[in-house]
């Protein structure tokens, strides 16, 4: 199960570290590797807010962009049978493989993080 938390408009993926007995969060889509921890959800949220605030302040101070640029281009290497199946399904739905893959990825992403903007 994937758990995602939004902090300050940025998405973070959450997990639980059984060895440390702590929740762990990692922001996705930032130019730096920003990880935070907490013993409960409230502490995790607070740690994420503090980490993000410090990261954004450092980006502003240094003039660095805080977020990664997503171009909309994605190169995949998939098994040939998956490629063939995608082509059949796309054709059966009257769309290109690219359009079908886009729809599948959008539906999967929306089910985890909510509607895409």
| pLDDT digit string (tens) for the chain, length 117 residues | 468 999 999 999 999 989 989 999 999 999 999 999 999 999 999 999 999 999 999 999 999 999 999 999 999 999 999 999 999 999 999 999 999 999 999 999 988 888 887
User: Quick one: pLDDT at residue 2?
Assistant: 62
Half-sphere exposure of 113 (CA within 13 A, CB side): 16
0.85 exceeded by the pTM? no
- DSSP class of residue 8 equals T
- DSSP class of residue 67 equals B
Burial 85-116 (b: 16+ CB within 10 A, else e): ebeeebeeeeeeeeebbeeeeeeeeeeeeeee
């Amino acid at each position: 199960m994937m758990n995602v938390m939004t902090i300050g408009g940025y998405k973070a993926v959450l997990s639980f570290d059984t060895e440390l007995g702590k929740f762990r969060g990692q922001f996705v889509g930032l130019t730096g590797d920003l990880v935070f921890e907490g013993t409960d959800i409230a502490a995790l949220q607070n740690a994420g807010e503090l980490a993000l605030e410090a990261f954004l302040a450092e980006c502003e101070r240094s003039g660095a962009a805080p977020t990664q640029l997503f171009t909309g281009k994605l190169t995949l290497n998939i098994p040939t049978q998956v490629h063939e199946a995608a082509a059949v399904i796309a054709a059966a739905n009257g769309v290109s493989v690219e359009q079908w893959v886009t729809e599948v990825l959008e539906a999967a992403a929306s089910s985890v993080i909510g509607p895409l903007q």
